[in-house]
């Protein structure tokens, strides 16, 4: 049995950044359309809620604890957004060049990357892909200010809630959020696993011959265990 060790070289890990945003808008059939790039992301904040204890007492002791369901939500901050997101933000096009507000809001999925760094190569060590499903954006504030000697671009912000979806693999509970750690598939000892991740990324980001698609949890599982999408 080995003794515990702390602060080993290469194991000072940290996570930073937000990049490579992708948006998939849900249609009236509950299906996600092709993905579009989301430029200008500045931050994505996770704010899960629920999983709160309700305590019950009997015989002068704490007899039972029941926990509420956990819910996932958060906040997206960005300097801009793809045109397709307007319908998720309650906007429509009255006529060319005219936007109308307070319209039906559509659900959407989105993904983004964060960097994993360590004490040897810095933030280039690896990355994580985060995928969020069933999101619904709430109305948000925007503040327009005069241009002065310290001009700043307007940063927009949207709080969102989610509806979890079935995982479709194993006995996992429905989820709204997946995290894919690329370092688990890109090591020198895992050359075949790297191709699995590359196939999934092609599905997510598209290429010259295929459109970006939203990978549901079962699709992610299939790519990262077999290297291909599940059979229809």
Per-residue pLDDT tens over the stretch 52-98 = 888 889 988 989 998 888 889 999 999 999 999 999 999 888 888 88
Q: What is the pLDDT of residue 25?
A: 97
Inter-residue contact 2 to 13 (CB < 8 Å):
no
The reported pLDDT for the residue numbered 232 is: 58
Query: Who contacts 140 (Cβ-Cβ below 8 Å, separation ≥6)?
Result: 89, 156, 157, 158, 159
**pLDDT level of residue 192 (50, 70, 90 thresholds):** confident
Average pLDDT for residues 189-216, to the nearest whole number?
90
Counting residues of the chain whose pLDDT is more than 90, the rounded percentage is 56
What is the pLDDT confidence band of residue 23, given thresholds at 50, 70 and 90?
very high
Instruction: Note the pLDDT of residue 191.
Output: 66
pLDDT at 135 over 80: yes
Residue 77's pLDDT is what?
A: 95
Instruction: Give the H or E element holding residue 161.
Output: strand 156-162
Instruction: At 220, list the tokens.
Output: 């992610």
Q: What is the residue-averaged pLDDT of the chain?
A: 90
Per-residue pLDDT for 122 more than 70? yes
CA distance 157 to 230: 36
Q: Which of 104, 111, 90, 102 is nearest to 24 (CA)?
A: 111
Q: pLDDT tier at 222 (50, 70, 90 boundaries)?
A: very high
* Residue 23 Cα to chain centre, angstroms: 10
pLDDT at 16: 92
Look up residue 143 and give its two tokens.
Answer: 């503040």
Mean pLDDT within 132-148:
86
> Which residue do the tokens 């690896």 mark?
126
Instruction: Of 140, 45, 129, give the one whose Cα is nearest residue 86.
Output: 140
CA–CA separation, 129 and 219 (whole Å) = 14
**Residue 167 CB-density burial (10 A; 0-12 exposed, 13-18 middle, 19+ buried):** middle
Please, which residues bridge with residue 54 across strands?
Answer: 66
User: What does the alpha-carbon distance between residue 140 and residue 168 come to, in Å, rounded to a whole number?
Assistant: 34
Q: Is the pLDDT of residue 176 over 90?
A: yes
122-137 vs 73-78, strand pairing mode: unpaired
* Among the listed residues 222, 210, 48, 207, the one whose alpha carbon sits nearest the alpha carbon of residue 132: 48
* Per-residue pLDDT band at 42 (split at 50, 70, 90): very high
| Confidence tier at 148 by pLDDT (50, 70, 90) | confident
Decide if pLDDT at 35 tops 70: yes
């Amino acid at each position: 049995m080995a003794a515990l060790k702390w602060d080993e070289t290469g194991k000072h890990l940290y996570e930073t950044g937000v990049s490579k945003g992708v948006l998939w808008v849900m249609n009236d059939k509950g299906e996600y359309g092709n993905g579009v790039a989301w430029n200008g992301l500045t931050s994505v904040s996770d704010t899960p809620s629920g999983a709160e204890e309700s305590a019950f007492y009997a015989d002068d002791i704490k007899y039972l604890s029941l926990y509420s369901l956990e819910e996932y939500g958060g906040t997206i901050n960005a300097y801009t957004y793809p045109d397709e997101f307007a319908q998720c933000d309650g906007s429509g096009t009255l006529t060319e060049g005219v936007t109308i507000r307070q319209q039906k809001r559509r659900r959407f999925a989105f993904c983004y990357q964060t960097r994993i760094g360590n004490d040897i190569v810095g933030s280039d060590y690896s990355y994580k892909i985060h995928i969020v499903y069933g999101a619904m954006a709430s109305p948000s504030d925007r503040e327009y200010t005069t241009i002065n000697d310290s001009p700043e671009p307007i940063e927009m912000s949207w709080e969102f809630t989610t509806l979890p979806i079935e995982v479709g693999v194993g006995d996992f509970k429905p989820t709204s959020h997946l995290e894919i750690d690329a370092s688990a598939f890109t090591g020198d000892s895992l050359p075949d696993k790297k191709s699995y991740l590359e196939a999934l990324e092609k599905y997510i980001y598209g290429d010259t011959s295929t459109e970006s698609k939203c990978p549901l949890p079962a699709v992610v599982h299939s790519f990262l265990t077999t290297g291909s999408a599940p059979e229809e």
